[in-house]
C-alpha cells in the first residue's frame, strides 16, 4: 500500500493583514492558472477585479510558512516557483515592474541558483529581509504593499496592481484520519511520518504501508518522483520474494488461557489483533506479520494469556529482582 | 534616503531608463548582483562608516532609485581601490557600477561642486587638483614656478584641450570649452 495524497495549498483567507477580501490579492496557485493558456483568462494576464493589465506586481513569499501561527516549516518550493512565475512574466511582458519580497531566497541545489541569477538578470526586483507587513486596498483600487528592504536598510512601500501570495503547502484534509485507518502515524505538522529520515524514508510505522510525495512533507517534483520510485521499489521488495521475514520479538496468544474479553483488539496500534473462533469461542489472534513488538497487548491482558517473546513476565520479574539485589 | 520626513522608500519611483543608462555606461551585469555583501566587507568607505556604501549603491541601482542615488554624494567617496572588483564572486565589477552612477550624475548635473572645479582645472591647466598659490610655495623651496607638466607648455596644453573637446566632456561640462 502506497499513500500518495499530495498536498493542499493554504487559502489566502487566513491572512487578514494581506486584504484577502480584495480580488486582486491572489495565491500563487491562482496566479499559475491566470498564466496558463488553459486557464480562466486563456493565458492573458488580467487583474481579476477589472480585467485591466497589471503594471506593478508584488509577490510575497513565506505566507503561512516559517510562521509559528500557521506552519513552522519551510514549504521549500515557493522560492523557486515565485522565480518561475517571475521568469515567465518578464519574458512575456518585460515592461511589467515585478517585486519579489523574500525573507531570504532559498534556491538550494543544482541549477536552482543559476535560475535565480538568470531571473534577476531579466529585471525581476528582489527585496530581501522583507516579509510584507500589510497589503491595504486604496481608494483608487490599487494595493499598498508595505515591507522592509534589508539591503537598503529602510522600510519600503509599493503601490501594486496585483499581489500574489506564495501560500504554504499544507497536508491535505483528512490525512490524519486516513493515516489512522492504516495505522500510520502523523507528525506534529500533520504530514504522515516516515520511520527514519535517513534509513527508512518511505516506510511508515505500519508494515507494508509506504508514503510518497507531499503527504510526507513539502517537496518539489523531482523529489516527489524520486520518492515515489523508492516507494514502488520498497513495495516490490516486499511482494516479489513471496515470503515475509518478521521480527522475533512479537506477541503470541495462549488461546486456552484467553478469556475472550477482547481488550487487546482496540489497543493494538497496528491492527494486528483480531478475534477468531477457537473451540466454539471467540479468541484473540495476533498476526505476527503485522505485530511490531510494542508489548501493549501483553501488559493489558487481564488473563496473562499473551506472551511477549523476549520480554516475558518471568524475564522482567527476574530482571527486577536482580536489580534490587544489586 | 529621506522622503517627505517619513523614512520610507517608495519603490514606484523606479526609473527603468536609469537602469538601462547604467547598464550601457559600465554596469553591464548590474542585475546579476546577489547582494552577498562581500564588496561591502572590504570597501574602505563602508569601513569608514559611509551610509551609502557599495552594496547599497548597487541595490538602489537595480531598483532604479535614481533620485536617492544622485542626491546622495556617497558615490564620490569611492577611493577607486578596486578591492570590490577583486573579491566579487559574481564578477559584476562593482567599481564600474560606481563609475556608471558617476557618469549619470555628471549628465544630470548632480555632482558635488568640487567635482566641477576639478573638471575645470583639468581643462584649463591639465591638472584636476590645482591648489591656489602653489607658485609661491614652489619658489620658496627653489623649484621653477610651474611644474614641468602641461601647465608649463602652452602648445601642448592647446593640443590637450583639442582632444578634450572631442570627448563627451564637451557635452557635460557646465563651462565653456574655449
Contact assignment for A128 to B56 by CB distance below 8 Å? no
The answer to whether the CB atoms of B31 and A154 lie below 8 A apart is: no
Q: Above 50 in pLDDT, residue A199?
A: yes
Q: How far apart are the C-alpha atoms of A205 and A268, rounded to whole Å?
A: 13
A245 occurs within a structural domain: no
- CA–CA distance, A130 with A98 (Å, rounded to integer): 15
B14 has a chain A CB within 8 A of its CB: yes
Residue A309 within any structural domain of the chain: yes
B9–A155: do the CB atoms touch at under 8 Å?
yes
pLDDT at B127: 84
Give the helix/strand (H/E) hosting A151.
none
Asked whether residue A62 falls in the same domain as residue A84, the answer is: yes
Pair A310, A278 in one domain = yes
Q: Between 1.10.10.60, 3.40.1160.10, 1.10.1060.10, 3.40.640.10, what CATH number should domain B11-107 receive?
A: 1.10.1060.10
Nearest by Cα to A221 from A14, A77, A66: A77
Quote the pLDDT of residue B61: 94
- Which residues pair with residue A147 across a beta bridge? A156
Per-residue model confidence (pLDDT) at position B1: 45
CATH number at residue A278: 3.30.70.20
CATH number assigned to the domain comprising residue A140:
3.50.50.60
Q: How distant is the Cα of B31 from the closest Cα of chain A, in angstroms?
A: 5
pLDDT at A289: 84
Q: What are A115-156's pLDDT values in tens digits?
A: 999 999 999 999 998 789 999 999 999 999 999 999 998 999
Q: Which residues contact B136 (CB under 8 A, 6 or more apart)?
A: none
Put simply, the answer to whether B9 touches A56 (Cβ < 8 Å) is: no
Quick one: A180 and A166 in the same domain? no
Say whether A152 and B8 touch across the interface (CB within 8 A): no
**ipTM above 0.85 for this complex:** no
Tell me, yes or no, whether A246 lies in a domain.
Answer: no
Residue B35 near chain A (CB below 8 Å): yes
Cβ contacts of B9 on chain A, cutoff 8 Å: 149, 152, 154-157
Residues A81 and A225 both lie in one domain: no
Res. A243 pLDDT band, cuts 50 70 90? confident
User: For the segment A63-116, what is each residue's pLDDT rounded down to a tens digit?
Assistant: 999 999 999 999 999 999 999 999 999 999 999 999 999 999 999 999 999 999
Assess whether A129 and A202 both reside in one domain: no
B14/A97 CB distance under 8 A:
yes
* Co-location of A204 and A142 in the same domain: no
pLDDT of res. B2: 43
Q: Mark whether A265 and A294 lie in a shared domain.
A: yes
Comparing A245 with A74, which gets the higher pLDDT?
Answer: A74
Residue A84 resides in a domain: yes
Hey, is the C-beta of B63 within 8 angstroms of any chain A C-beta?
yes
Alpha carbons within 13 A on the beta-carbon side of B80: 4
Q: Please, are residues A168 and A79 in contact by the beta-carbon 8 Å criterion?
A: no
Contact B55 A151 (CB under 8 A): yes
Regarding whether A18 and A144 lie in a shared domain, the answer is: yes
The minimal CB distance from B11 to the residues A99, A116, A121 is found for A99
Are both A164 and A120 inside the same structural domain? Answer: yes
pLDDT per residue rounded down to tens, chain B (178 residues) = 444 556 899 999 999 999 999 999 989 999 999 999 999 999 998 888 888 889 999 999 999 999 989 988 888 888 889 999 999 999 999 999 999 999 999 888 888 888 888 888 889 888 888 778 888 888 999 998 888 888 889 999 999 999 999 998 888 888 888 7
Residue A312 shares a structural domain with residue A206: no
Q: What is the pLDDT, as a whole number, of residue B3?
A: 45
Give yes or no: residues A294 and A259 share one domain.
yes
Domain-wise residue ranges, chain B: 11-107, 113-170
Shortest distance, CA B21 to any CA of chain A (angstroms):
14
A-facing residues of B in 112-131 (CB < 8 A) are none
Report how far residue B15's alpha carbon sits from residue B34's, in angstroms, rounded to the nearest whole number: 20
Q: Do residues A154 and B8 touch, judged by C-beta distance below 8 A?
A: yes
CB B126 within 8 A of CB B133: no
Same domain as A98, residue A231: no
C-alpha cell at A188: 506534529
Number of helices (H) and strands (E) in chain A: give both, helices first: 8, 16
Total tally of structural domains belonging to chain A:
3
pLDDT of residue A33: 94
How far does the CA of residue B28 sit from the closest CA of chain A (Å)? 10
Residue B158 phi/psi, 5° resolution? Answer: -60, -45
Q: A222 is in which domain, residue-wise? A: 175-239
pLDDT digits (tens, 9 = 90+) for A1-36: 999 999 999 999 999 999 999 999 999 999 999 999
- A152, A155, A158 ranked by CB distance to B59: nearest: A152
Beta-carbon pairs below 8 A across chains A and B: 62
B residues 67-106 near A, CB within 8 Å? 90
B136-175 residues touching A, CB cutoff 8 A? none
pTM of the model: 0.83
Amino acid at each position: 500500500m502506497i499513500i500518495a495524497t499530495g498536498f493542499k495549498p493554504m487559502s489566502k483567507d487566513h491572512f487578514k493583514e494581506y486584504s484577502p477580501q480584495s480580488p486582486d490579492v491572489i495565491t500563487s496557485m491562482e496566479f499559475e492558472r491566470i498564466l496558463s493558456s488553459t486557464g480562466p483568462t486563456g493565458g492573458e494576464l488580467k487583474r481579476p477585479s477589472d480585467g485591466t493589465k497589471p503594471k506593478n506586481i508584488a509577490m510575497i513569499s513565506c505566507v503561512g510558512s516559517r510562521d509559528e501561527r500557521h506552519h513552522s516549516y519551510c514549504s521549500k518550493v515557493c522560492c523557486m516557483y515565485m522565480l518561475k512565475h517571475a521568469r515567465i512574466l518578464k519574458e512575456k511582458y518585460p515592461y511589467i515592474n515585478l517585486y519579489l519580497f523574500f525573507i531570504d531566497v532559498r534556491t538550494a541545489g543544482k541549477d536552482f541558483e543559476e535560475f535565480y541569477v538568470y531571473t534577476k538578470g531579466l529585471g525581476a526586483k528582489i527585496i530581501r529581509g522583507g516579509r510584507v507587513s500589510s497589503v491595504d486596498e486604496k481608494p483608487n483600487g490599487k494595493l499598498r504593499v508595505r515591507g522592509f528592504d534589508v539591503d537598503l536598510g529602510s522600510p519600503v512601500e509599493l503601490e501594486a496592481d496585483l499581489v500574489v501570495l506564495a501560500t504554504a503547502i499544507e497536508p491535505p484534509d483528512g490525512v490524519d484520519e486516513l493515516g489512522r485507518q492504516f495505522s500510520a502515524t502523523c507528525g506534529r505538522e500533520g504530514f504522515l511520518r516516515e520511520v527514519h529520515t535517513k534509513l527508512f524514508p518511505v516506510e511508515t510505522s505500519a508494515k507494508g504501508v509506504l508514503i510518497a510525495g507531499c503527504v510526507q512533507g513539502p517537496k518539489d517534483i523531482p523529489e516527489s518522483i524520486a520518492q515515489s520510485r523508492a516507494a514502488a521499489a520498497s513495495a516490490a521488495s516486499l511482494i516479489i520474494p513471496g515470503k515475509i521475514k518478521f521480527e522475533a520479538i512479537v506477541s503470541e496468544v495462549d488461546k486456552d488461557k484467553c478469556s475472550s474479553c477482547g481488550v487487546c483488539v482496540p489497543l493494538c496500534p497496528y491492527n494486528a489483533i483480531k478475534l477468531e473462533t477457537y473451540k466454539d469461542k471467540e479468541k484473540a489472534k495476533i498476526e505476527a506479520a503485522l505485530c511490531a513488538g510494542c508489548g501493549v497487548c501483553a501488559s493489558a491482558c487481564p488473563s496473562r494469556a499473551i506472551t511477549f517473546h523476549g520480554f516475558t513476565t518471568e524475564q522482567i520479574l527476574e530482571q527486577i529482582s536482580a536489580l534490587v539485589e544489586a | 534616503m529621506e522622503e517627505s520626513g517619513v523614512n520610507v522608500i517608495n519603490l514606484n519611483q523606479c526609473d527603468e531608463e536609469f537602469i538601462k543608462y547604467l547598464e550601457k555606461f559600465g554596469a553591464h551585469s548590474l542585475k546579476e548582483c546577489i547582494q552577498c555583501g562581500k564588496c561591502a566587507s572590504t570597501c574602505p568607505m563602508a569601513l569608514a562608516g559611509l551610509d551609502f556604501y557599495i552594496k547599497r549603491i548597487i541595490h538602489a541601482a537595480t531598483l532604479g532609485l535614481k533620485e536617492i542615488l544622485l542626491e546622495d554624494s556617497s558615490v564620490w567617496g569611492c577611493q577607486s581601490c578596486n578591492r570590490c572588483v577583486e573579491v566579487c564572486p559574481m564578477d559584476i565589477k562593482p567599481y564600474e557600477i560606481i563609475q556608471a552612477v558617476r557618469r549619470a550624475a555628471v549628465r544630470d548635473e548632480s555632482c558635488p561642486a568640487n567635482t566641477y572645479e576639478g573638471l575645470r582645472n583639468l581643462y584649463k591647466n591639465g591638472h584636476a587638483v590645482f591648489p591656489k598659490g602653489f607658485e609661491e610655495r614652489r619658489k620658496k623651496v627653489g623649484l621653477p614656478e610651474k611644474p614641468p607638466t602641461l601647465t608649463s607648455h602652452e602648445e601642448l596644453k592647446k593640443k590637450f584641450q583639442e582632444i578634450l573637446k572631442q570627448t563627451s566632456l564637451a557635452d557635460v561640462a557646465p563651462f565653456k570649452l574655449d
